[in-house]
Amino acid sequence: MTNAYHNLCTTFTRLSRFEHLSAIAGWDMQTMMPAKGNVARSEAMAELNVLQHQILTNPQVGEWLQQAESETLNEIEQANLREMRRHYHNAVLLPEALVEAKSLAGARCEHAWRQQRIANDWNGFAENLREVVKLSREEAAIRAQAAGTSRYDALLNLYEPGTNSASLDSIFGDLKQWLPELLQKVTAKQAGEACLVPQGPFDLEKQRQLGLQVMNLLGFDFDGGRVDISVHPFCGGVPQDVRITTRYNEQEFLSALMGIVHETGHARYEQNLPRAWLGQPISHARSTAIHESQSLLFEMQLARSKEFLPLILPLVVEQFGEQPAFEMQNFIALNQRVKTGFIRVDADEVSYPAHVILRYEIEKALINGEIEVDDIPALWNEKMQQYLGLNTEGNYQNGCMQDIHWTDGAFGYFPTYTLGAMYAAQLFHAARSKIPELDRNIANGDLSALFNWLQTTIWQHGSHYSTAELITQATGESLNPRFFRQHLEQRYL
């Protein structure tokens, strides 16, 4: 290994150890930390963020990156160097003071949001959000100037390198052409089909046990991770120690269960990233949309399929006892029910893209300076009525305050959910083509062929390839939204 490249590897290994601490401290902040610990924790994490920023933006790192260009590197090392360069250029643009201010404002906004959401307190939330938006716009302006793009595209590129709003507008524009009619057809079809709703209450400890059984079925490594409770479900931690969360409701168990399935998809990806490269940027997950493709492949393609649902029904009955809603066909119908609702994380896969497009259009206008924070509720309500036929006027809790993403300035994240759903459909179609007996295997409780295929095509590659290269190698073509439409029509019509 040559000198400059070796020095870079040492630096990035050091950074990864700080990222590890930051990830676990962040997980604790959202799950275990008592409320009065927030200010001290926020300050400690901001300090850690500044330290990581200092290490990464040290002029010496820039010099090593230049020197490494002329060193003899193999193909893996070159890919790693490319990712190092991307991380460095993303970081070096931002002044230290902005990194610290963003970290503190995000932590303050997120912590207050937990109670403000419950209280439906838009005014209190908006006050903190204005500061987050102001700092996010500052960041976006700096990045946009360097990249020669719009402010929103500059932030989008942090989550989904190589994607821009022009391509999203085209993909989502196409979706808006056919999705409303499909949604109408499916709901009309299902209106004539009886579907019994399970009768609660559902004991929380039994729900937890059910979640653990399903995680086990999905291959989660409990020696390398755990599941807890948080206000908003997430997957965090590091590949060696993956932390997932869900939230429980005594009256209804499927949201928590499918939340666990979704986060387990994220976790399996993290747990199977290339161990030989850990500590290096090349070992990271490829992009946010690829990450979402794994969680949505688990939740939508696999877990809501008529092949998989019979595997978990006996586990459901074991925990909650027999009842008419747990008859096999009813249980399948229940998990494939399409019904417009206020909450994105509880949405079915047909109406889900409407939730994403709504957020994408609002956050893009917000970051590009076309609207202000005070415009969000009215615009949210207008789009909610237009896309889903629902009124959120005055209902901030189930409207524009329901998500955690904007609280810490994660603008550019939302579109990756629907891109992820499209990648998931394309990947599952490719898996079926490659493994003709896949559906039969799943019905028999053998998920190994699917997981081995994902390991070979996606998980083991980390950030070795670009998103387009990764998907083309796995499926034979770059992103093709046709597979998503095809999947929805086949399952629901």
Q: What does the pLDDT look like over 421-467, one tens digit per residue? A: 999 999 999 999 999 999 999 999 999 999 999 999 999 999 999 99
By the 8 A CB rule, do 464 and 472 touch? no
Max CA pair span of the chain = 70
DSSP designation for 274: -
Whether pLDDT at 185 is above 80: yes
Annotated active-site residue 382? The verdict is: no
Could you check whether the bond before residue 324 is cis, i.e. omega within 30 degrees of 0? no
Mean pLDDT of the chain: 97
Q: Which residues contact 86 (CB under 8 A, 6 or more apart)?
A: 161, 281
Q: pLDDT band at residue 2, thresholds of 50, 70 and 90?
A: low
Mean pLDDT of 301-324: 98
Q: What is the DSSP letter of 199?
A: P
The helix (run of H) or strand (run of E) holding residue 132 is helix 122-147
Where are any strands of DSSP class E within 63-174?
Answer: none
8 A C-beta contact, residue 247 and residue 294: no
Pairing of strands 241-246, 225-229: parallel
Helix (H) or strand (E) holding 19: helix 3-31
Active-site option among 131, 263, 270, 363 = 263
**Residue ranges of the alpha helices (H) in 192-250?**
204-217
The pTM of the full predicted model, rounded to 2 decimals, is 0.96
Q: Give the burial string for 358-391 (b: 16+ CB within 10 Å, else e).
A: bbbbbbbbbbbeebebeebbebbbebbeebbeee
Pick from 290, 271, 273: nearest CA to 281: 273
Q: What is the pLDDT of residue 79?
A: 98
Confidence band, pLDDT 50/70/90 cuts, at residue 232: confident
β-strand pairing of 235-238 with 241-246:
antiparallel
Instruction: Report the interhelical angle of 122-147 vs 151-159 (nearest 10°).
Output: 90
Q: What is the DSSP letter of 481?
A: T
The amino acid that residue 21 corresponds to is: L
Residues 6+ apart with CB under 8 A from 316: 210, 253, 326, 331
- State the Cα–Cα distance between residues 197 and 11, nearest whole angstrom: 55
Counted residue by residue, the chain has a size of 493
In angstroms, rounded to a whole number, what is the distance separating the alpha carbons of residues 186 and 191?
A: 8
Coil, strand, or helix at residue 425?
A: helix
pLDDT tens digits, residue range 356-397?
Answer: 999 999 999 999 999 999 999 999 999 999 999 999 999 999
* pLDDT value of residue 1: 58
Which whole number is the average pLDDT over 105-123?
Answer: 96
Which helix (H) or strand (E) segment is 27 a member of? Answer: helix 3-31
| Strands of the sheet with 225-229, listed across from one edge | 225-229, 241-246, 235-238
User: Prior bond to 201 cis, omega within 30?
Assistant: yes
